[in-house]
Amino acid sequence: MERQPRQPTTKNPPERFTGDVWLDMIASPREPGQHLLAAMVRFAPGARTAWHSHALGQTLHITQGVAWVQGRGGDKIVATAGETLYCPSGEEHWHGAAPDAFMEHLAMSDCLDDVAASTTWLEHVTDEEYRS
């Protein structure tokens, strides 16, 4: 058993996020055959990801605040602390905070051997899409 050094909190890039979003990496592959990626992500009110998809799906566990989540063509889902959402492999979606509340979630996914190829980033979520 090894205690892991705490990684610095990083701010997510504006090319892929609207508003202020901070990330604390928790787990990434260390040994052959491992694919777990886990991060705690904090969104300021109104902040959200761009549209994107995960090659091997993603589980989101809301730990604080009010989350707004939507799959392409689907209804917006409002979720609060303690709820868990699953996004299937390849489904285009976004996730973020409600306009009037912070949101924190634990994001968990399996990555490909090429970690960078595990998430496909698309266009930003417009204010119209966010509010609809």
Chain contacts with Mn ion (rule: CB under 5 A): 58
Question: Rounded to the nearest whole angstrom, what is the least distance from the CB of residue 131 to Mn ion in the complex?
Answer: 20
Quick one: 66 or 69, whose CB is closer to Mn ion? Answer: 69
SS3 (DSSP) at 63: strand
Quick one: 18 or 58, whose CB is closer to Mn ion? Answer: 58
Question: Rounded to the nearest whole angstrom, what is the least distance from the CB of residue 18 to Mn ion in the complex?
Answer: 14
Check residue 33 and report its DSSP letter: T
Quick one: 60 or 66, whose CB is closer to Mn ion? Answer: 60
Q: Of all residues in this chain, which one has the CB nearest to Mn ion in the complex?
A: 58
Question: Rounded to the nearest whole angstrom, what is the least distance from the CB of residue 45 to Mn ion in the complex?
Answer: 19
CA nearest neighbour of 57 among 35, 86, 89, 28: 89
Q: Provide the token pair at 40.
A: 């705690």
Question: Rounded to the nearest whole angstrom, what is the least distance from the CB of residue 119 to Mn ion in the complex?
Answer: 7
Read off φ and ψ for residue 131, nearest 5 degrees.
-85, -15
Please tell me the total number of residues recorded for the chain in this structure.
132
SS3 (DSSP) at 28: coil
